[in-house]
Amino acid sequence: MVPAISMPDPEDPTGAELGLPPTLRLGRQGAVAVLTLARAAKRNALDDTTVEGLHRFFATPPEWAAVVVLDADGDHFSAGLDLNELAERDTIAGLEHSMSWHRAFAAMESGRLPVVSVLKGAVIGGGLEFATATHIRVAETSAFYALPEGQRGLFVGGGASVRVPRLIGAHRMTDLMLTGRVLDAREGQDLGLTHYLVEEGEGFEHALSLALRIAENAPVTNFAVLHALPLIAQGDPAQGYLMESLMAAVASGSPEAKQRMRSFLEGRAGKVGGQE
Protein backbone atom coordinates (compact mmCIF):
# COMPACT_ATOMS: atom_id res chain seq x y z
CA MET A 1 0.00 0.00 0.00
CA VAL A 2 1.26 3.47 -0.87
CA PRO A 3 1.14 5.67 2.24
CA ALA A 4 -0.10 9.23 2.32
CA ILE A 5 2.81 11.62 2.73
CA SER A 6 2.99 15.03 4.28
CA MET A 7 3.80 18.04 2.15
CA PRO A 8 7.50 18.96 2.43
CA ASP A 9 7.40 22.05 0.25
CA PRO A 10 7.06 25.11 2.53
CA GLU A 11 5.16 26.89 -0.23
CA ASP A 12 2.43 24.26 0.00
CA PRO A 13 -0.15 25.02 2.72
CA THR A 14 -0.64 22.48 5.49
CA GLY A 15 -4.03 21.43 6.77
CA ALA A 16 -3.75 23.86 9.66
CA GLU A 17 -2.94 26.73 7.30
CA LEU A 18 -6.00 25.80 5.27
CA GLY A 19 -8.09 26.10 8.41
CA LEU A 20 -8.78 22.37 8.76
CA PRO A 21 -9.75 21.03 12.20
CA PRO A 22 -7.78 18.22 13.90
CA THR A 23 -10.47 15.79 12.74
CA LEU A 24 -9.24 16.17 9.15
CA ARG A 25 -5.69 15.34 8.08
CA LEU A 26 -4.21 16.46 4.76
CA GLY A 27 -1.50 14.63 2.85
CA ARG A 28 -0.17 14.77 -0.67
CA GLN A 29 0.78 12.34 -3.44
CA GLY A 30 1.90 14.47 -6.37
CA ALA A 31 -1.20 16.26 -7.65
CA VAL A 32 -3.46 14.12 -5.44
CA ALA A 33 -4.62 15.53 -2.11
CA VAL A 34 -5.26 12.82 0.48
CA LEU A 35 -7.89 14.04 2.94
CA THR A 36 -8.40 11.70 5.90
CA LEU A 37 -11.17 11.60 8.46
CA ALA A 38 -9.29 11.38 11.76
CA ARG A 39 -11.86 10.41 14.40
CA ALA A 40 -11.25 6.67 14.62
CA ALA A 41 -12.33 6.54 18.28
CA LYS A 42 -15.74 7.88 17.18
CA ARG A 43 -15.92 5.62 14.10
CA ASN A 44 -15.35 8.87 12.18
CA ALA A 45 -18.75 10.22 13.11
CA LEU A 46 -19.30 13.67 11.64
CA ASP A 47 -19.59 16.59 14.01
CA ASP A 48 -20.24 20.20 13.00
CA THR A 49 -16.56 21.12 13.22
CA THR A 50 -15.62 18.38 10.75
CA VAL A 51 -18.45 19.25 8.36
CA GLU A 52 -17.42 22.93 8.45
CA GLY A 53 -13.82 21.88 7.75
CA LEU A 54 -14.93 19.81 4.76
CA HIS A 55 -16.88 22.77 3.42
CA ARG A 56 -13.87 25.06 3.81
CA PHE A 57 -11.50 22.61 2.13
CA PHE A 58 -13.65 21.89 -0.92
CA ALA A 59 -14.74 25.51 -1.35
CA THR A 60 -11.10 26.65 -1.52
CA PRO A 61 -8.90 23.60 -2.20
CA PRO A 62 -5.10 23.94 -2.52
CA GLU A 63 -3.98 25.13 -5.93
CA TRP A 64 -1.65 22.15 -6.44
CA ALA A 65 -4.43 19.60 -6.07
CA ALA A 66 -6.03 18.05 -9.17
CA VAL A 67 -7.84 15.15 -7.46
CA VAL A 68 -8.76 14.18 -3.89
CA VAL A 69 -8.66 10.76 -2.26
CA LEU A 70 -10.99 10.72 0.74
CA ASP A 71 -9.80 8.19 3.31
CA ALA A 72 -10.58 7.44 6.96
CA ASP A 73 -8.58 6.32 9.98
CA GLY A 74 -9.49 3.09 11.73
CA ASP A 75 -11.91 0.39 10.64
CA HIS A 76 -14.85 2.57 9.57
CA PHE A 77 -15.45 5.24 6.93
CA SER A 78 -18.11 7.08 8.93
CA ALA A 79 -20.85 6.04 11.33
CA GLY A 80 -22.83 9.17 10.46
CA LEU A 81 -23.85 12.10 12.60
CA ASP A 82 -22.04 12.38 15.92
CA LEU A 83 -24.81 11.79 18.45
CA ASN A 84 -23.39 14.60 20.58
CA GLU A 85 -24.64 16.92 17.84
CA LEU A 86 -28.26 15.88 18.46
CA ALA A 87 -28.91 18.91 20.63
CA GLU A 88 -32.38 20.31 21.16
CA ARG A 89 -33.14 22.53 18.17
CA ASP A 90 -36.24 24.35 17.11
CA THR A 91 -37.51 23.94 13.57
CA ILE A 92 -35.47 26.81 12.09
CA ALA A 93 -32.26 25.69 13.79
CA GLY A 94 -32.83 22.15 12.52
CA LEU A 95 -33.39 23.46 9.01
CA GLU A 96 -30.20 25.51 9.13
CA HIS A 97 -28.21 22.54 10.46
CA SER A 98 -29.38 20.29 7.63
CA MET A 99 -28.60 22.97 5.05
CA SER A 100 -25.08 23.37 6.44
CA TRP A 101 -24.49 19.71 5.55
CA HIS A 102 -26.00 20.30 2.12
CA ARG A 103 -23.59 23.18 1.50
CA ALA A 104 -20.57 21.18 2.61
CA PHE A 105 -21.34 18.13 0.49
CA ALA A 106 -22.34 20.28 -2.50
CA ALA A 107 -18.99 22.08 -2.30
CA MET A 108 -17.38 18.68 -2.78
CA GLU A 109 -19.76 17.24 -5.37
CA SER A 110 -19.88 20.43 -7.44
CA GLY A 111 -16.33 21.63 -6.79
CA ARG A 112 -13.41 21.68 -9.19
CA LEU A 113 -11.75 18.46 -7.93
CA PRO A 114 -12.80 14.86 -8.65
CA VAL A 115 -13.09 12.97 -5.35
CA VAL A 116 -12.36 9.25 -4.95
CA SER A 117 -13.53 7.83 -1.61
CA VAL A 118 -12.34 4.72 0.24
CA LEU A 119 -15.28 3.01 1.97
CA LYS A 120 -14.83 0.45 4.73
CA GLY A 121 -16.71 -0.71 7.79
CA ALA A 122 -19.64 1.52 8.72
CA VAL A 123 -20.93 3.78 5.95
CA ILE A 124 -24.21 4.63 7.59
CA GLY A 125 -26.57 7.56 8.00
CA GLY A 126 -24.68 10.78 7.41
CA GLY A 127 -21.64 8.72 6.43
CA LEU A 128 -23.58 7.31 3.46
CA GLU A 129 -24.82 10.80 2.61
CA PHE A 130 -21.21 11.97 2.63
CA ALA A 131 -19.99 9.03 0.54
CA THR A 132 -22.63 9.43 -2.16
CA ALA A 133 -21.50 13.02 -2.74
CA THR A 134 -18.08 11.75 -3.87
CA HIS A 135 -17.54 11.01 -7.55
CA ILE A 136 -15.86 7.59 -7.47
CA ARG A 137 -16.41 5.15 -4.60
CA VAL A 138 -14.05 2.27 -3.85
CA ALA A 139 -15.41 -0.16 -1.26
CA GLU A 140 -13.54 -2.75 0.76
CA THR A 141 -15.30 -6.01 1.57
CA SER A 142 -15.83 -4.86 5.18
CA ALA A 143 -18.11 -1.99 4.12
CA PHE A 144 -21.77 -1.99 5.09
CA TYR A 145 -24.49 0.58 4.41
CA ALA A 146 -27.62 1.68 6.25
CA LEU A 147 -29.95 4.62 6.80
CA PRO A 148 -31.06 4.10 10.42
CA GLU A 149 -32.73 7.50 10.79
CA GLY A 150 -36.17 5.98 10.30
CA GLN A 151 -35.63 3.69 13.30
CA ARG A 152 -34.66 6.66 15.45
CA GLY A 153 -37.63 8.87 14.74
CA LEU A 154 -35.61 11.01 12.35
CA PHE A 155 -35.40 11.76 8.63
CA VAL A 156 -32.25 12.07 6.56
CA GLY A 157 -30.85 15.59 6.44
CA GLY A 158 -27.55 15.48 4.59
CA GLY A 159 -28.78 14.94 1.03
CA ALA A 160 -29.57 11.21 1.03
CA SER A 161 -33.12 11.69 -0.24
CA VAL A 162 -31.67 13.24 -3.40
CA ARG A 163 -28.46 11.29 -3.99
CA VAL A 164 -29.25 7.76 -2.82
CA PRO A 165 -32.41 7.27 -4.98
CA ARG A 166 -30.43 8.38 -8.03
CA LEU A 167 -28.06 5.48 -7.37
CA ILE A 168 -30.35 2.66 -6.20
CA GLY A 169 -33.91 3.92 -6.73
CA ALA A 170 -36.44 5.46 -4.33
CA HIS A 171 -38.05 2.06 -3.64
CA ARG A 172 -34.79 0.63 -2.27
CA MET A 173 -34.16 3.70 -0.14
CA THR A 174 -37.71 3.30 1.17
CA ASP A 175 -36.80 -0.22 2.26
CA LEU A 176 -33.61 0.96 4.00
CA MET A 177 -35.43 3.66 5.94
CA LEU A 178 -38.61 1.78 6.85
CA THR A 179 -36.98 -1.49 7.90
CA GLY A 180 -33.47 -0.50 9.01
CA ARG A 181 -32.04 -2.98 6.51
CA VAL A 182 -28.25 -3.17 6.31
CA LEU A 183 -26.55 -3.80 2.96
CA ASP A 184 -23.20 -5.56 2.88
CA ALA A 185 -20.37 -4.58 0.54
CA ARG A 186 -21.43 -6.96 -2.25
CA GLU A 187 -25.07 -5.84 -2.10
CA GLY A 188 -23.98 -2.19 -2.21
CA GLN A 189 -21.80 -2.89 -5.22
CA ASP A 190 -24.50 -4.82 -7.07
CA LEU A 191 -27.10 -2.10 -6.43
CA GLY A 192 -24.82 0.70 -7.64
CA LEU A 193 -23.75 2.41 -4.42
CA THR A 194 -20.09 1.83 -5.30
CA HIS A 195 -17.96 1.59 -8.42
CA TYR A 196 -15.21 -0.80 -7.27
CA LEU A 197 -15.12 -3.59 -4.69
CA VAL A 198 -11.70 -4.69 -3.42
CA GLU A 199 -10.37 -6.86 -0.62
CA GLU A 200 -9.98 -5.51 2.89
CA GLY A 201 -6.94 -3.27 3.22
CA GLU A 202 -6.66 -2.62 -0.54
CA GLY A 203 -9.03 0.33 -0.81
CA PHE A 204 -6.56 3.18 -0.42
CA GLU A 205 -4.06 1.78 -2.88
CA HIS A 206 -6.79 1.22 -5.48
CA ALA A 207 -8.29 4.67 -4.91
CA LEU A 208 -4.88 6.32 -5.18
CA SER A 209 -4.12 4.54 -8.46
CA LEU A 210 -7.43 5.80 -9.87
CA ALA A 211 -6.78 9.33 -8.61
CA LEU A 212 -3.30 9.44 -10.17
CA ARG A 213 -4.84 8.34 -13.47
CA ILE A 214 -7.58 10.99 -13.21
CA ALA A 215 -4.95 13.65 -12.46
CA GLU A 216 -3.40 12.97 -15.86
CA ASN A 217 -6.59 14.02 -17.67
CA ALA A 218 -6.85 17.44 -19.25
CA PRO A 219 -8.35 19.82 -16.67
CA VAL A 220 -11.06 20.90 -19.12
CA THR A 221 -12.15 17.26 -19.50
CA ASN A 222 -12.41 16.75 -15.73
CA PHE A 223 -14.35 20.01 -15.48
CA ALA A 224 -16.81 18.89 -18.17
CA VAL A 225 -17.34 15.51 -16.51
CA LEU A 226 -17.97 17.03 -13.08
CA HIS A 227 -20.11 19.99 -14.12
CA ALA A 228 -21.66 19.39 -17.55
CA LEU A 229 -22.33 15.64 -17.41
CA PRO A 230 -24.70 15.74 -14.39
CA LEU A 231 -26.74 18.54 -15.98
CA ILE A 232 -26.91 16.68 -19.29
CA ALA A 233 -27.96 13.42 -17.63
CA GLN A 234 -30.70 15.08 -15.56
CA GLY A 235 -31.96 17.58 -18.13
CA ASP A 236 -34.04 17.70 -21.28
CA PRO A 237 -32.42 15.56 -24.04
CA ALA A 238 -32.49 18.37 -26.62
CA GLN A 239 -30.70 20.72 -24.23
CA GLY A 240 -28.35 17.90 -23.27
CA TYR A 241 -27.27 17.32 -26.86
CA LEU A 242 -26.56 21.01 -27.29
CA MET A 243 -24.55 21.20 -24.07
CA GLU A 244 -22.64 18.08 -25.09
CA SER A 245 -21.73 19.68 -28.42
CA LEU A 246 -20.62 22.88 -26.71
CA MET A 247 -18.44 21.04 -24.21
CA ALA A 248 -16.99 18.80 -26.91
CA ALA A 249 -16.04 21.86 -28.93
CA VAL A 250 -14.50 23.60 -25.92
CA ALA A 251 -12.51 20.51 -24.94
CA SER A 252 -11.27 19.61 -28.42
CA GLY A 253 -10.33 23.22 -29.13
CA SER A 254 -7.90 23.49 -26.23
CA PRO A 255 -4.15 23.40 -27.01
CA GLU A 256 -3.69 20.46 -24.66
CA ALA A 257 -6.36 18.40 -26.46
CA LYS A 258 -4.74 19.13 -29.82
CA GLN A 259 -1.35 18.04 -28.51
CA ARG A 260 -2.79 14.83 -27.07
CA MET A 261 -4.54 14.03 -30.35
CA ARG A 262 -1.31 14.60 -32.29
CA SER A 263 0.47 12.22 -29.92
CA PHE A 264 -2.21 9.61 -30.49
CA LEU A 265 -2.14 9.95 -34.28
CA GLU A 266 1.65 9.75 -34.28
CA GLY A 267 1.56 6.57 -32.24
CA ARG A 268 3.02 8.17 -29.12
CA ALA A 269 -0.05 7.55 -26.96
CA GLY A 270 -1.40 4.26 -25.71
CA LYS A 271 -4.43 2.65 -27.32
CA VAL A 272 -7.47 1.42 -25.44
CA GLY A 273 -7.25 -2.26 -24.58
CA GLY A 274 -8.95 -4.78 -22.36
CA GLN A 275 -8.79 -4.89 -18.58
CA GLU A 276 -5.31 -5.06 -17.10
Q: Which residues are catalytic?
A: 129, 149
Residue 121 DSSP class: S
CA distance 151 to 143: 21
Instruction: Indicate the helix (H) or strand (E) that contains 243.
Output: helix 237-252
Residue 275: partners with Cβ closer than 8 Å, 6 or more residues away: none
With CA atoms as reference, report the closest residue to 230 among 161, 166, 169: 166
Maximum Cα interatomic distance, the chain, rounded to a whole number of Å: 66
With CA atoms as reference, report the closest residue to 23 among 58, 59, 48: 48
CA distance 124 to 253: 43
CA 144 to chain centre: 17
CA distance 248 to 253: 8
DSSP 184-214: EHHHHHHHTS-SEEE-TT-HHHHHHHHHHHH
How many CA atoms does the CB half-sphere of 84 hold within 13 Å? 7
